[in-house]
């Protein structure tokens, strides 16, 4: 992000983190004390919203700081503030805990090969059915197939090649 600002000629004292959010008034205050008005909310991706604030070009024209703040825009500059849905916020908070990070680190060792096998060998890249019960069924069939294949490989096949005592 800092590189993008540098490319556009925005100096560090006018980057987005130097703007102050006023939650009650739903406005942003720029480093020169100008109030930016709320323009719109946009859906970015699932669970994330972008709140867009904008400067009034007429307000900014009077300021000598304009070349460092919005050098490439004739209209007023805009800034989008990202807000997670409550569910995503709870999830992200949970993922900061040591327990969650431990599980996450183990994921590669425990689940990656299984996922890759299910995708590559039986083509389970997306479910072929709809509805929770049907999806659960398809998942269980896939898990059973994987477990049987592992059992053949690790238990059954070596027994075939073991000479009887």
Closest separation in Å from C-beta 146 to ligand SF4:
57
Cβ(40)–Cβ(29) below 8 Å: no
Burial of 76 (0-12, 13-18, 19+ CB in 10 A): buried
Is residue 31 at the binding interface for ligand SF4, with CB under 6 A as the rule?
A: yes
Among 32, 51, 73, 81, binds ligand SF4 (CB under 6 A): 32
Region near ligand SF4 per CB under 6 A, out of 29-37, 87-95, 111-119, 154-162? 29-37
Burial of 53 (0-12, 13-18, 19+ CB in 10 A): buried
Helix intervals (H) in 9-164: 57-61, 66-69, 86-94, 98-107, 113-121, 132-151, 157-160
- Site residues (CB under 6 A) for ligand SF4, limited to 50-79: 55, 59-60, 63, 65-66, 69-70, 77
Closest separation in Å from C-beta 60 to ligand SF4:
3
- Site residues (CB under 6 A) for ligand SF4, limited to 78-117: none
Is residue 35 at the binding interface for ligand SF4, with CB under 6 A as the rule?
A: no
3-class secondary structure, 34: coil
Write out the residues near ligand SF4 by the rule CB under 6 A. 14, 30-32, 34, 55, 59-60, 63, 65-66, 69-70, 77
């Amino acid at each position: 992000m800092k590189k993008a600002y540098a490319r556009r000629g925005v100096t560090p004292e006018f980057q987005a983190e130097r703007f102050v959010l006023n939650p009650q008034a739903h406005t942003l205050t720029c480093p020169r004390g100008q109030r930016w008005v709320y323009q719109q909310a946009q859906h970015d991706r699932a669970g994330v919203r972008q709140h867009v604030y904008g400067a009034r070009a007429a307000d900014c024209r009077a300021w000598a700081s304009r070349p460092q703040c919005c050098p490439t825009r004739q209209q007023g500059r805009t800034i989008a503030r990202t807000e997670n849905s409550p569910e995503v916020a709870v999830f992200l908070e949970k993922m900061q805990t040591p327990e969650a990070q431990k599980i996450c680190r183990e994921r590669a060792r425990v689940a990656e090969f299984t996922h890759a096998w299910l995708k590559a060998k039986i083509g389970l890249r997306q479910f072929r059915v709809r509805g929770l019960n049907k999806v659960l069924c398809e998942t269980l069939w896939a898990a059973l197939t994987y477990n049987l294949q592992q059992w053949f490989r690790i238990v059954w096949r070596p027994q075939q090649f073991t000479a009887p005592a």
